[in-house]
Amino acid sequence: MDEKYINWKTEGIFRLGSAALCLFLLVFTCGCGIFSSVSVEDAEGDGYGGENDNLVVVGFSQIGSESVWRTAHTASIQAALTKENGYFLIFDNARQKQENQIKALRSFISQRVDYIVFSPVTESGWDTVLEEAKEAGIPVILMDRMVDVEDDSLYTTWIGPDTEEEGRKAGRWLEEYLKMSGRQKEDINIVVLQGTLSSSSQRGRSAGFAEIANRYVNWHILGQRSGEFTVAKGKEVMEQFLEKYPDIDVVVSQNDDMTFGAVEAIEESGRKVGRDGGIIILSFDAVKDALRMVETGQIAVDVECNPEQGEYLAEVIGILERGEKLEKAYVVEEKVFTMENVSKYMNDRSY
């Protein structure tokens, strides 16, 4: 997939397009009030029309609010698609259910929004509703996660993280750490706290990490189970792992919320976390509270998943509005945080 993905920064299209976008937004936002997004229900009633006629209407179906990351992702989109910036945003929270997302998408179609934006909870099962959007002539922009459809003309473009690479980054860190600490020949027992099964973040991170793990006969993945990207479920699954596998060396936790739960479970069981003889935690997302745990050594490495995608979305809509050439995928930039580098990034984090 790598070659078809365009690196945001190296392409530089957004920097080039930003002056034109500002001009566009200036023209379209004169006289518009301060942003507030409305729910699908409000929009179906008397939400837009009249004074909002000149705004670009965007229906956004978010997966839910399962994690700190998700809340930051929603906030980033709401902050970018404001009335001041020329948008009328209809927001729907699907509460982790695909059927709710499909319902929201159909509602956006019947309201004839200008753009449909959604983060698909899982990858499959979207063909029919996306065909309906295509027939209605409404461009669909995927964010964060991907869909698994045979016909990729069913969506216009995708903006999100390369989750497979995130998984590889975690694996490479472990590889390097074991070498540096002279443990490369030891048996390493690993458990994986997976995110929502069949979501692209779960699949990508699992595949990327497995690619590195498969190179080592002494890395043993003892168990993989879903903690559904939440603190409570992460804790519950970690408790089960601790009971079943007494000799865990490494936990790969596919998001920070599950990590918070897992660390609690480990410490309550009387075991330690950390590089000094504790269970080594590899986490994903890099939200502020988790970066604090990187600083204290409770999390050994946190691979960033960047939720600040709202500006990118505004740029993509700008490209579409101007009728310019669009790429099929835009990958957001991400870092890797360890005790060695985390302090210089702590103050930048708003989430």
- Out of 255, 259, 283, 306, the only residue in the binding site for ligand AHR (CB under 6 A) is 255
Among 107, 201, 283, 298, binds ligand AHR (CB under 6 A): 201
Q: Is 309 in the site for ligand AHR (CB under 6 A)?
A: no
Which x/- pattern over 141-160 shows residues binding ligand AHR (rule: CB under 6 A)? ---xx---------------
The region of 52-60, 62-70, 84-92, 312-320 touching ligand AHR under the rule CB under 6 A is: 62-70
Closest distance to ligand AHR from the beta carbon of 255 (Å): 4
Q: How far is the CB of 88 from ligand AHR (least distance, A)?
A: 26
Among 25, 56, 70, 115, binds ligand AHR (CB under 6 A): 70
Tell the smallest beta-carbon distance from residue 110 to ligand AHR (Å): 28
Q: Choose which of 37, 62, 67, 96 interacts with ligand AHR (CB under 6 A).
A: 67
Per residue, what are the HEC states of the chain?
CHHHCEEHHHHCHHHHHHHHHHHHHHHHHCCCCCCCCEEHHHHHHHHCCHHHCCCEEEEEEECCCCCHHHHHHHHHHHHHCCCCCCEEEEEEECCCCHHHHHHHHHHHHHCCCCEEEECCCCCCCCHHHHHHHHHCCCCEEEECCCCCCCCHHHCCEEEECCHHHHHHHHHHHHHHHHHHCCCCCCCEEEEEEECCCCCHHHHHHHHHHHHHHCCCCCEEEEEEEECCCCHHHHHHHHHHHHHHCCCCCEEEECCHHHHHHHHHHHHHCCCCECCCCCEEEEEEECCHHHHHHHHHCCCCEEEECCCCCHHHHHHHHHHHHCCCCCCCEEECCCCEEECCCHHHCHHHCCC
Q: Between 210 and 258, whose beta carbon lies closer to ligand AHR?
A: 258
Between residues 85 and 122, which has the closer beta carbon with respect to ligand AHR? 122
Q: How far is the CB of 224 from ligand AHR (least distance, A)?
A: 16
In the complex, the smallest distance separating the C-beta of residue 198 from ligand AHR, rounded to whole angstroms, is: 12
Q: Is 285 in the site for ligand AHR (CB under 6 A)?
A: yes
Asked if residue 260 binds ligand AHR (CB under 6 A), the reply is: no
Instruction: Give contact residues for ligand AHR (rule: CB under 6 A).
Output: 66-67, 69-70, 144-145, 201, 229, 255, 284-285, 305
